[in-house]
Amino acid sequence: MHEQIDYLVSLQDLDTLIRETRDEKRRAELESMGFTLDNVEPLESAREALVKRIDERFVRVYERLTVKYGRAVVPVVNRTCLGCFQSVPPSFFSEVTANQPVKVCENCGRILYFPAT
């Protein structure tokens, strides 16, 4: 897997964590279970460092999709984009290439990740 898509997945996971930590209801629920969620600042620093490792053009796409959909990177499960639930063509399952290290859904434009083993 190309490192750029791995960075984008890490960025999406990190943004999910930051968003959940800032969600008062979610935070209260986790704290009531005994979990501590004190230090959001290191996550923001980690995000900044991660963004620097991603090609600027992908960062722009990621930020634009985040504004539009809330979640920019979505998994493909059972050959279906879990962003728009449309089928992903079989050709998309071939290896990524240097010219196309990041694939986007032909229907919704979200960045696709293929988690299946």
Binding site for other proteins (CB under 8 A): 1, 6, 9-10, 12-14, 16-17, 20-21, 26, 29-30, 33-40, 42-43, 46, 71, 73-75, 77, 82, 113-117
Is residue 110 within 8 Å of residue 5, measured between CB atoms?
Answer: no
Is residue 58 within 8 Å of residue 66, measured between CB atoms?
Answer: no
Is the Cβ of residue 71 or residue 106 nearer to other proteins in the bound state? 71
Query: Nearest distance from residue 26's CB to other proteins, in Å?
Result: 8
Query: Nearest distance from residue 30's CB to other proteins, in Å?
Result: 8
CB atoms within 10 A of CB 89: 8
Query: Nearest distance from residue 47's CB to other proteins, in Å?
Result: 9
Q: Which residues contact 101 (CB under 8 A, 6 or more apart)?
A: 2, 4, 5
Is the Cβ of residue 99 or residue 117 nearer to other proteins in the bound state? 117
Is the Cβ of residue 49 or residue 98 nearer to other proteins in the bound state? 49
> What does the DSSP 8-state code read for residue 79?
T
Is residue 43 within 8 Å of residue 14, measured between CB atoms?
Answer: yes
Query: Nearest distance from residue 68's CB to other proteins, in Å?
Result: 16
